[in-house]
Amino acid sequence: MNILLAYFSRTGCTETLAQEISKQLQIRGHSIEYEVIKPSVNYSWIREVARDWPRYPSIAASIVSPTWREHHLRTYNQVEEDIQPLTYPNVKNFDCICVGGPKWAQISYPVARYLQIVRGIRNKKIGTFATFGGPPLKTFEVELIEKPLANLINRLGGHVVAHVGISSGYHEASIMPLFRLASRIRFRKPIKEFMMGSEYANTGIAGFCANLEKEVN
Ligand SMILES: Cc1cc2nc3c(=O)[nH]c(=O)nc-3n(C[C@H](O)[C@H](O)[C@H](O)COP(=O)(O)O)c2cc1C
């Protein structure tokens, strides 16, 4: 397969995941092209958080109430951010597209803009990938990035056939002690058990590549 790996990475964590996915897909005989999504302006993390801040109470409510979560995911107003011109503005000639980025409450703003401006997504089989600072808490981390990505891509006519989310164990806002504690309480494991190089990450990446191959061939 001729695969486009499109990703945004602000501090390098998602780039490491993208490189590992690329390596595994190449081992399986696929050819890879890259679209490194770059914001037009690099804002501070405080400014980025502030743009989404009004939606945080809704996110908090969606963690405790499944009914609210459903409503939140249906009505969430995704923040976007200007990005630099694309190398591949039209992806119709690729067999498959992989799109990835960090979790920024939900979809990172440059990835959200990428999906709005890229052409040729309709009817494409798509794999999505993400990193997040915390452990893979089912609702707060995994669902709140996987589902918004799938919803947005579905609206554009694409079909998500694989997803992988890995903990980076890193957050610019220095809230990692909280996430480390959450990992111990929820999983009784240190967060490194969910980071790149762990069995969790290796299994997730292998499953992601296998699902892509199964669905696209
Ligand atoms: C604006 C912003 C929002 C974030 N929101 C979350 C979050 O909701 N959950 C989380 O675990 N990490 C969150 N993070 C941390 C990143 O997801 C994490 O550091 C990621 O691995 C960074 O990937 P990168 O190095 O590819 O940019 C956030 C970071 C920023 C800058």
Which atom of ligand 1 is closest in space to residue 132's alpha carbon? Answer: 17
Mean pLDDT of all residues in 144-152: 95
How large a percentage of the chain has pLDDT more than 90?
94
pLDDT tens digits, one per residue of 67-106: 999 999 988 889 999 999 999 999 999 999 999 999 999 9
Mean pLDDT of all residues in 177-195: 98
Which atom of ligand 1 is closest in space to residue 171's alpha carbon? Answer: 19
Residue whose C-alpha is closest to residue 91's, from 164, 157, 16: 157
Between the CA of 214 and the centroid of ligand 1 the distance, in Å, is 30
Here the CATH number for the domain that contains residue 71 is: 3.40.50.360
> What is the pLDDT at residue 102?
98
Mean pLDDT of all residues in 35-51: 96
pLDDT-derived band of residue 216, with 50, 70 and 90 as boundaries? confident
> What is the pLDDT at residue 175?
95
Angle at 130 between CA 29 and CA 27, to 5 degrees: 15
> What is the pLDDT at residue 177?
97
105 lines ligand 1 (CB under 6 A): yes
Number of domains in the chain: 1
Q: Could you list the residue range(s) of the whole structural domain that residue 132 is in?
A: 2-216
Between the CA of 14 and the centroid of ligand 1 the distance, in Å, is 10
Which atom of ligand 1 is closest in space to residue 59's alpha carbon? Answer: 8
Give me the chain's average pLDDT, please.
96
Between the CA of 120 and the centroid of ligand 1 the distance, in Å, is 28
> What is the pLDDT at residue 76?
87
Between the CA of 133 and the centroid of ligand 1 the distance, in Å, is 6
Residue whose C-alpha is closest to residue 145's, from 214, 215, 78, 190: 78
pLDDT tens digits, one per residue of 24-37: 999 999 999 999 99
